[in-house]
A = this chain, B = another copy of it.
Protein backbone atom coordinates (compact mmCIF):
# COMPACT_ATOMS: atom_id res chain seq x y z
CA UNK A 1 0.00 0.00 0.00
CA UNK A 2 2.64 2.44 1.15
CA UNK A 3 4.84 1.49 -1.77
CA UNK A 4 2.19 1.85 -4.40
CA UNK A 5 3.48 4.60 -6.62
CA UNK A 6 0.07 5.53 -7.90
CA UNK A 7 -1.46 5.73 -4.47
CA UNK A 8 0.87 8.44 -3.31
CA UNK A 9 -0.57 10.90 -5.81
CA UNK A 10 -4.25 10.32 -5.13
CA UNK A 11 -5.53 13.11 -2.89
CA UNK A 12 -6.68 11.62 0.39
CA UNK A 13 -8.37 14.70 1.75
CA UNK A 14 -11.34 13.01 3.39
CA UNK A 15 -9.02 10.62 5.23
CA UNK A 16 -7.23 13.43 7.07
CA UNK A 17 -10.41 15.24 7.93
CA UNK A 18 -12.12 12.10 9.17
CA UNK A 19 -9.07 11.16 11.24
CA UNK A 20 -9.05 14.61 12.85
CA UNK A 21 -12.79 14.35 13.51
CA UNK A 22 -12.21 10.96 15.07
CA UNK A 23 -9.48 12.42 17.29
CA UNK A 24 -11.71 15.35 18.34
CA UNK A 25 -14.47 12.89 19.25
CA UNK A 26 -12.02 10.95 21.41
CA UNK A 27 -11.20 14.22 23.19
CA UNK A 28 -14.92 14.79 23.72
CA UNK A 29 -15.26 11.30 25.19
CA UNK A 30 -12.30 11.91 27.53
CA UNK A 31 -13.69 15.28 28.67
CA UNK A 32 -17.17 13.84 29.27
CA UNK A 33 -15.75 10.94 31.27
CA UNK A 34 -13.67 13.33 33.39
CA UNK A 35 -16.74 15.50 34.09
CA UNK A 36 -18.76 12.41 35.00
CA UNK A 37 -16.00 11.24 37.35
CA UNK A 38 -16.47 14.38 39.47
CA UNK A 39 -19.61 12.83 40.99
CA UNK A 40 -17.67 9.77 42.20
CA UNK A 41 -15.25 10.34 45.04
CA UNK A 42 -14.26 7.00 46.57
CA UNK A 43 -10.67 5.88 45.81
CA UNK A 44 -12.03 2.79 44.00
CA UNK A 45 -14.30 4.86 41.76
CA UNK A 46 -11.52 7.34 41.06
CA UNK A 47 -9.20 4.53 40.03
CA UNK A 48 -11.88 3.06 37.76
CA UNK A 49 -12.42 6.41 36.04
CA UNK A 50 -8.68 6.89 35.63
CA UNK A 51 -8.40 3.50 33.93
CA UNK A 52 -11.33 4.37 31.66
CA UNK A 53 -9.76 7.68 30.64
CA UNK A 54 -6.34 6.08 30.19
CA UNK A 55 -7.88 3.66 27.72
CA UNK A 56 -9.49 6.58 25.85
CA UNK A 57 -6.12 8.36 25.82
CA UNK A 58 -4.43 5.32 24.27
CA UNK A 59 -6.98 5.29 21.48
CA UNK A 60 -6.19 8.98 20.96
CA UNK A 61 -2.49 8.17 20.68
CA UNK A 62 -3.22 5.59 18.01
CA UNK A 63 -5.30 7.98 15.93
CA UNK A 64 -2.69 10.75 16.29
CA UNK A 65 -0.11 8.26 15.10
CA UNK A 66 -2.28 7.26 12.16
CA UNK A 67 -2.33 10.91 11.10
CA UNK A 68 1.49 10.94 11.16
CA UNK A 69 1.64 7.71 9.16
CA UNK A 70 -0.74 9.11 6.57
CA UNK A 71 1.28 12.31 6.30
CA UNK A 72 4.40 10.31 5.54
CA UNK A 73 2.76 8.30 2.78
CA UNK A 74 0.49 10.88 1.16
CA UNK A 75 1.81 13.16 -1.51
CA UNK A 76 -0.97 15.70 -1.76
CA UNK A 77 -2.52 16.81 1.50
CA UNK A 78 -5.57 19.11 1.88
CA UNK A 79 -3.64 21.48 4.15
CA UNK A 80 0.14 21.82 4.55
CA UNK A 81 1.46 18.81 6.41
CA UNK A 82 2.86 20.91 9.24
CA UNK A 83 -0.65 22.30 9.82
CA UNK A 84 -2.29 18.88 9.92
CA UNK A 85 0.47 17.69 12.21
CA UNK A 86 0.15 20.71 14.53
CA UNK A 87 -3.61 20.20 14.77
CA UNK A 88 -3.36 16.46 15.52
CA UNK A 89 -0.62 17.01 18.14
CA UNK A 90 -2.57 19.89 19.65
CA UNK A 91 -5.73 17.82 20.11
CA UNK A 92 -3.65 14.88 21.35
CA UNK A 93 -2.05 17.18 23.94
CA UNK A 94 -5.49 18.12 25.32
CA UNK A 95 -6.37 14.42 25.63
CA UNK A 96 -3.06 13.82 27.44
CA UNK A 97 -3.90 16.64 29.85
CA UNK A 98 -7.34 15.16 30.58
CA UNK A 99 -5.63 11.84 31.30
CA UNK A 100 -3.16 13.60 33.56
CA UNK A 101 -6.06 15.22 35.48
CA UNK A 102 -7.65 11.80 36.08
CA UNK A 103 -4.29 10.40 37.12
CA UNK A 104 -3.74 13.17 39.65
CA UNK A 105 -7.23 12.82 41.09
CA UNK A 106 -6.48 9.12 41.50
CA UNK A 107 -3.01 9.37 43.03
CA UNK A 108 -3.49 12.47 45.19
CA UNK A 109 -7.06 11.57 46.11
CA UNK A 110 -8.10 14.88 47.74
CA UNK A 111 -11.07 14.78 50.13
CA UNK A 112 -13.31 17.06 48.16
CA UNK A 113 -12.62 18.92 44.99
CA UNK A 114 -15.67 21.14 45.25
CA UNK A 115 -17.61 23.26 42.84
CA UNK A 116 -14.64 24.96 41.14
CA UNK A 117 -13.25 21.63 39.88
CA UNK A 118 -16.66 20.74 38.45
CA UNK A 119 -16.82 24.12 36.77
CA UNK A 120 -13.39 23.64 35.19
CA UNK A 121 -14.52 20.22 33.92
CA UNK A 122 -17.54 21.84 32.33
CA UNK A 123 -15.27 24.37 30.60
CA UNK A 124 -13.13 21.50 29.30
CA UNK A 125 -16.27 19.79 27.97
CA UNK A 126 -17.35 22.97 26.22
CA UNK A 127 -13.89 23.42 24.75
CA UNK A 128 -13.90 19.81 23.50
CA UNK A 129 -17.27 20.54 21.94
CA UNK A 130 -15.91 23.63 20.18
CA UNK A 131 -12.94 21.66 18.87
CA UNK A 132 -15.25 18.94 17.47
CA UNK A 133 -17.36 21.53 15.68
CA UNK A 134 -14.28 23.42 14.47
CA UNK A 135 -12.77 20.26 12.97
CA UNK A 136 -16.02 19.70 11.10
CA UNK A 137 -15.44 23.05 9.39
CA UNK A 138 -12.03 22.14 7.98
CA UNK A 139 -13.37 20.97 4.63
CA UNK A 140 -15.24 24.21 3.98
CA UNK A 141 -13.65 27.03 5.98
CA UNK A 142 -11.75 28.48 3.04
CA UNK A 143 -15.04 29.43 1.41
CA UNK A 144 -16.84 30.27 4.60
CA UNK A 145 -14.59 30.91 7.60
CA UNK A 146 -17.24 32.55 9.82
CA UNK A 147 -18.13 29.43 11.79
CA UNK A 148 -14.49 28.41 12.38
CA UNK A 149 -13.67 31.97 13.43
CA UNK A 150 -16.54 31.78 15.92
CA UNK A 151 -15.18 28.61 17.51
CA UNK A 152 -11.76 30.22 17.91
CA UNK A 153 -13.32 33.16 19.73
CA UNK A 154 -15.34 30.78 21.90
CA UNK A 155 -12.21 28.77 22.84
CA UNK A 156 -10.46 31.98 23.81
CA UNK A 157 -13.41 33.14 25.93
CA UNK A 158 -13.84 29.78 27.66
CA UNK A 159 -10.19 29.73 28.66
CA UNK A 160 -10.45 33.25 30.06
CA UNK A 161 -13.48 32.29 32.14
CA UNK A 162 -11.72 29.13 33.34
CA UNK A 163 -8.72 31.26 34.36
CA UNK A 164 -10.92 33.48 36.50
CA UNK A 165 -12.53 30.49 38.23
CA UNK A 166 -9.13 28.90 38.85
CA UNK A 167 -7.46 32.04 40.17
CA UNK A 168 -10.29 32.91 42.54
CA UNK A 169 -10.39 29.33 43.81
CA UNK A 170 -6.62 29.11 44.52
CA UNK A 171 -6.69 32.48 46.27
CA UNK A 172 -9.47 31.29 48.60
CA UNK A 173 -7.92 27.84 49.08
CA UNK A 174 -4.69 29.36 50.41
CA UNK A 175 -6.59 31.82 52.58
CA UNK A 176 -9.07 29.36 54.07
CA UNK A 177 -7.77 25.77 54.03
CA UNK A 178 -5.38 25.10 56.89
CA UNK A 179 -4.34 21.49 56.16
CA UNK A 180 -1.11 21.79 54.13
CA UNK A 181 -1.25 18.26 52.73
CA UNK A 182 -4.83 18.76 51.54
CA UNK A 183 -3.79 22.08 49.96
CA UNK A 184 -1.03 20.35 48.00
CA UNK A 185 -3.39 17.59 46.81
CA UNK A 186 -6.05 20.03 45.63
CA UNK A 187 -3.53 22.41 44.06
CA UNK A 188 -1.94 19.61 42.00
CA UNK A 189 -5.34 18.60 40.62
CA UNK A 190 -6.60 22.13 39.97
CA UNK A 191 -3.35 23.18 38.25
CA UNK A 192 -3.73 20.28 35.84
CA UNK A 193 -7.37 21.11 35.12
CA UNK A 194 -6.34 24.68 34.35
CA UNK A 195 -3.47 23.46 32.17
CA UNK A 196 -6.03 21.41 30.23
CA UNK A 197 -8.12 24.50 29.46
CA UNK A 198 -4.89 26.17 28.25
CA UNK A 199 -4.09 23.23 25.98
CA UNK A 200 -7.58 23.49 24.48
CA UNK A 201 -7.10 27.20 23.85
CA UNK A 202 -3.82 26.37 22.15
CA UNK A 203 -5.81 24.31 19.64
CA UNK A 204 -7.86 27.46 19.08
CA UNK A 205 -4.65 29.32 18.22
CA UNK A 206 -3.66 26.63 15.71
CA UNK A 207 -7.11 26.92 14.11
CA UNK A 208 -6.83 30.70 14.00
CA UNK A 209 -3.51 30.39 12.19
CA UNK A 210 -5.26 28.25 9.56
CA UNK A 211 -7.68 31.11 8.89
CA UNK A 212 -4.83 33.61 8.59
CA UNK A 213 -2.96 31.31 6.25
CA UNK A 214 -5.64 29.90 3.99
CA UNK A 215 -8.47 32.42 3.84
Q: Please state if B212 and A68 are interface contacts (CB–CB under 8 Å).
A: yes
Q: Please state if B167 and A103 are interface contacts (CB–CB under 8 Å).
A: yes
Distance A187 CA – B180 CA, assembled complex (angstroms): 14
Q: Please state if A171 and B107 are interface contacts (CB–CB under 8 Å).
A: yes
Q: Please state if A106 and B184 are interface contacts (CB–CB under 8 Å).
A: no
Q: Please state if B170 and A174 are interface contacts (CB–CB under 8 Å).
A: no
Distance A104 CA – B187 CA, assembled complex (angstroms): 12
Asked if A138 lies at the interface with its beta carbon under 8 angstroms from chain B, I say no
Q: Please state if A212 and B69 are interface contacts (CB–CB under 8 Å).
A: yes
CB-CB under 8 A from A108, the residues of chain B are 170, 174
For A180, give its contact among B69, B171, B181 (CB under 8 Å): B181
Asked if A25 lies at the interface with its beta carbon under 8 angstroms from chain B, I say no
Interface string of A176-215 (1 = CB under 8 A from B): 0010110111010000000000000000000001001100
**Which residue from chain B places its CB closest to the CB of A73 in the assembled complex?**
B212
A-B contacts, 25 listed (Cβ < 8 Å): A68-B209, A68-B212, A69-B212, A72-B212, A72-B213, A103-B167, A106-B167, A107-B167, A107-B170, A107-B171, A107-B174, A108-B170, A108-B174, A109-B174, A109-B175, A174-B181, A174-B185, A178-B181, A180-B180, A180-B181, A180-B184, A181-B183, A183-B184, A184-B184, A184-B187
